[in-house]
Homo-oligomer: A and B are copies of this chain.
């Protein structure tokens, strides 16, 4: 990890490090006519506004948004927020830095997650599903993207490695649910778990930021994923056509309803179960993020900010039990 990182900057600190340029604009004061360079600089721990007041014109032409730059400057507090005043900006070459330092990523160990996926595949009894999954995760074109892709733009697991973290969390839930409901075919459900969001490797772009790809907006990860899986099934000699239909069905129906973008509705127990565990995991991850943000921001507040996937705030259980306003009618005696 590069040092210092955004999260650790303090007022008055002199800083010489690299940042990713997230926003870049030249502004002019309406009154004084004076212009300056306004940037948003970031790394995997956050973002900070930065200003360069003098001699920025030629420098500004040497880099663009999403470039990494080497800067020198000093931290100031304005209205309680940290801001950088820059003296120097030099574009960095790709060899100088680790791009991973500049984008948020999972706290989990990617290789451990990856090993869990492989362990699941190794443990399967259905040879066709095993072959199918192997052909996906061992595809050298797919594997690195599967390890790197986020699971979403904003809602949950919106960071590098988020997709894999989400899949491994679902593996745990799928095992528990399969053990609970013996009518479920565990291999089929686990296949749905590993493949349900595989289209996100193409739906999103996650090289120097997280965004939709053009094809992602035009097709969506559900259709992209179903297409990829169809291709993989058909590349396996003798793969049963009806089993392929069930696997595609799991992918197509995993959003659970037309309104949420599934073009077909769950029609086997495994598809219903996959939809539910996917939904619960994304909601739990979203709440975890909201609660973590609250605990760093305002440690005593009883309510969090609005959670985007639930469209409401969450109450912080422990803070409420300690400090909340219960306003209950009094107990009798």
Which residues in A have some Cβ–Cβ distance to B below 8 Å? 26-31, 77-80, 141-142, 169, 172-173, 176-177, 179-181, 183, 185, 188, 202, 205, 213-220, 222-223, 226-228, 230-231, 234, 240-246, 248-249, 252, 258-270, 272-273, 276-277, 279-280, 283-284, 287-288, 291, 302-303, 310, 312-315, 317, 320-321, 324-332
Contact = CB atoms under 8 A, between A and B. Distances in A.
Given A176-B176, A214-B325, A219-B248, 4 more contacts: A214-B324, A220-B264, A223-B248, A242-B324
A298 to B, nearest CB: 14
Interface of A, secondary structure class, is: helix
Query: Can you tell how many copies of this chain the complex includes?
Result: 6
17 contacts: A26-B80, A29-B31, A173-B176, A176-B176, A176-B177, A205-B325, A214-B315, A215-B326, A216-B327, A219-B264, A227-B227, A227-B248, A241-B328, A242-B321, A242-B326, A244-B326, A262-B263
A324 to B, nearest CB: 4
Nearest to A266: B310
Contacts of A26: 79-80
Nearest to A240: B321
A321 B187 CA distance: 15
A264 B218 contact: yes
B272 A283 contact: yes
A202 B327 contact: yes
A186 to B, nearest CB: 13
